[in-house]
Amino acid sequence: MTQTILHIDASARHTGSTTRSLSAKTVAKLSGDVIYRDLTDALPQINETWVNANFTPAGDRTPAQKKALTLSDDLIGEIMAADVLVIGVPVYNFGVPAALKAWIDLIARAGVTFAYTENGPKGLLTGKRAVIVLATGGTEVGSEIDFASGYLRHIMGFIGITDVEIIAADRTMADAEEALAKANAQIDALAA
């Protein structure tokens, strides 16, 4: 059976982007039907209208509230349709790009992608896998100043995706050749 891959690129750069190149190689390695989402196509920030619509029970939403959630519903639909998420993430100023944070805000919805329980939040999008492809200029992935990889692993788990792999091309400004070789070796070792 062919798997469906949701390929997300968060780099502001289209040309010369390490994460775009490595995430494309990852998608090719995993092989499957691909849904592609480029986050540089400016996702909106959530606002009061969106928040009010989100917390209004579905059956009570006005047409304007339903419209406010349309993009969020579409983004969540892409995740639900996927078996694997491949997310290309450059680390900007020690964290994730604002475009990726906007995507996270739009897809983290109580009652849709996670539920509150007596034991805390429970992710609802189980049975999926995520491969996070990170590139950094100077930050070592997993170090105390890496605020991206742990955050993304947590967000994936928060929505129910606990099978998360990190592919890191870190510290590219120190030794790009070594960083890319390490990341390419990780991609080559991925199980389809």
Q: What is the mean pLDDT of the chain?
A: 96
Whole-number percent of the chain with pLDDT over 70: 100
The per-residue pLDDT for 1 is 78
- Residues 168-190, mean pLDDT to the nearest whole number: 96
**Taking a C-beta distance cutoff of 8 angstroms, is the pair 72, 109 a contact?**
yes
Q: Which of the four CATH numbers 3.30.390.10, 3.40.50.1370, 3.40.50.720, 3.40.50.360 does domain 4-188 have?
A: 3.40.50.360
> For residue 122, how many other CB atoms are within 10 A of its CB?
14
- Residues 15-40, mean pLDDT to the nearest whole number: 97
- Residues 155-162, mean pLDDT to the nearest whole number: 98
Residues 6+ apart with CB under 8 A from 66: 53
Establish whether 149 is an annotated binding residue: no
Strand-pair category, 120-123 with 129-135: unpaired
Does 191 have pLDDT greater than 90?
A: no
- Residues 137-157, mean pLDDT to the nearest whole number: 96
The per-residue pLDDT for 50 is 97
Tokens standing for 75?
A: 């983004």
Convert the pLDDT of each residue in 61-119 to its tens digit.
999 999 999 999 999 999 999 999 999 999 999 999 999 999 999 999 999 999 999 99
- Residues 23-29, mean pLDDT to the nearest whole number: 98
Residues 6+ apart with CB under 8 A from 162: 123, 126, 156
